[in-house]
């Protein structure tokens, strides 16, 4: 039979069933992520409050020194680089946008949520669940710091280089929702170091390549005169720290990671490529 829009009725029913399954599994995944912590280590965080306060004081001092002695000369030097150098890095810097990672990860997660897992053997269901946890971790670990920075940078309102005609790193206009006053922290640097930390957690052997990517992105933001060095440093710190917090959140709920009694985090073994291929064959058959 053919439906009102010219589509076979059985095909429309299958599509509707797939959408319902995808929505139900996505909601179940969110519910799992929001569940209370299952692990309660003796030490809540690796650092004590006193250690955190000292680290914060040191970082503030470093930023003030960097803003005074590093930002102006570095930014002026970047502006005087040859045009071809800046043009090359303008191509590179585009790959620091979070959308390059969030869109593929989100689509992959929804695609796995739409799979008919009830037709798979128990072992294959566990493999699929482990894959969804890892994709979900990557999405949240990259997306959460990026969203945080998108809001905070506009609240801080630091002017980008040469907005006032000179490289003055002490120009601020808080709550000015303008791209010209959204310099601190750098969103591209946040994404780059979140990608480095998140993917590096799951695949440590890829850290060298990921580090090269992250350094190229943060360098590009300075070379194209979109940010001061302290902007990208702040973004890098937020990106890496955000992943650490997301990983701990997942670990307390035993999602892909676990927390030892001493507070140390451990990653659960992931499915091998052979098992992933086996699940794919079962789905295709």
Q: What is the DSSP string of 79-120?
A: HTS-HHHHHHHHHHHGGGSTHHHHHHHHHHHHHHHTS-GGGS
Q: Which of 2-6, 81-85, 275-279 has the lowest mean pLDDT?
A: 2-6
What pTM, to 2 d.p., does this model score? Answer: 0.91
176/2: higher pLDDT: 176
* Residue 100 CA, distance from chain mean position: 11
Per-residue pLDDT band for 47 (boundaries 50, 70, 90) equals: low
Spans of all domains in the chain:
48-284
141/121: higher pLDDT: 141
Give the Cα separation of 231 and 236 in Å (integer).
Answer: 9
Give the Cα separation of 88 and 125 in Å (integer).
Answer: 46
**Residue 236 near residue 193 (C-beta atoms within 8 A):** yes
Q: What percent of the chain has pLDDT over 70?
A: 93
Q: What are 150's two structure tokens?
A: 């998108």
pLDDT of residue 8: 58
pLDDT of residue 46: 64
Arithmetic mean of pLDDT over the chain? 89
Beta-strand ranges (E) seen in the chain are 257-259, 265-267
The residue written with tokens 């946008």 in the block is 97
Give the Cα separation of 137 and 189 in Å (integer).
Answer: 19
Q: How many CA atoms lie within 13 A of 96 on its CB side?
A: 30
Across 191-219, b (16+ Cβ under 10 Å) vs e yields: bbbbbbbbbbbbeeeeeeebeebbebbbb
36/103: higher pLDDT: 103
DSSP state of 172: B
**Of the candidates 237, 239, 80, 238, the residue with the CA atom closest to the CA atom of residue 161:** 80
Q: What percent of the chain has pLDDT over 90?
A: 61
Please say if the pLDDT value at position 2 is more than 60. Answer: no
- Average pLDDT estimate for 229-258: 94
The domain 48-284 having CATH identifier 1.20.1300: the answer here is no
Q: What are 220's two structure tokens?
A: 């590009």
pLDDT of residue 183: 94
157/115: higher pLDDT: 157
pLDDT of residue 276: 82
Helices and strands, counts by H and E, the chain: 10, 2
**Residue 131 near residue 154 (C-beta atoms within 8 A):** no
Per-residue pLDDT band for 37 (boundaries 50, 70, 90) equals: confident
**Residue 197 near residue 73 (C-beta atoms within 8 A):** no
- Residue 10 burial (CB count, 10 A): 10
φ, ψ for residue 117, nearest 5 deg: -65, -25
Please say if the pLDDT value at position 160 is more than 80. Answer: yes
């Amino acid at each position: 039979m053919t439906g009102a829009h010219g589509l076979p009725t059985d095909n429309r029913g299958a599509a509707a069933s797939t959408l319902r399954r995808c929505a139900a599994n996505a909601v179940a995944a969110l519910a799992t992520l929001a569940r209370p912590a299952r692990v309660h280590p003796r030490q809540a965080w690796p650092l004590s409050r006193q250690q955190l306060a000292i680290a914060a004081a040191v970082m503030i001092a470093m930023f003030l020194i960097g803003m005074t002695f590093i930002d102006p000369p570095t930014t002026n030097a970047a502006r005087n680089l040859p045009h071809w150098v800046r043009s090359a890095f303008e191509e590179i810097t585009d790959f620091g946008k979070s959308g390059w990672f969030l869109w593929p990860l989100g689509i992959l997660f929804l695609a796995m949520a739409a799979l008919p897992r009830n037709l798979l053997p128990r072992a294959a269901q566990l493999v699929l669940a482990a894959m969804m946890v890892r994709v979900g971790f990557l999405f949240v670990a990259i997306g959460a710091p990026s969203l945080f920075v998108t809001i905070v940078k506009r609240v801080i309102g630091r002017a980008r280089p040469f907005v006032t005609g000179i490289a003055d790193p002490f120009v601020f206009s808080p709550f000015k929702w303008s791209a010209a006053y959204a310099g601190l922290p750098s969103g591209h640097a946040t994404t780059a170091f979140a990608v480095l930390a998140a993917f590096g957690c799951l695949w440590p052997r890829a850290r060298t390549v990921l580090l090269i990517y992250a350094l190229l992105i943060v360098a590009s933001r300075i070379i194209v005169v979109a940010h001061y060095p302290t902007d990208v440093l702040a973004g890098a710190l937020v990106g890496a720290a955000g992943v650490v917090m997301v990983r701990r959140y997942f670990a307390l709920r035993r999602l892909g990671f676990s927390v030892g009694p001493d507070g140390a985090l451990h990653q659960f073994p992931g499915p091998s490529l052979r098992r992933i291929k086996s699940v794919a064959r079962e789905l295709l058959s």
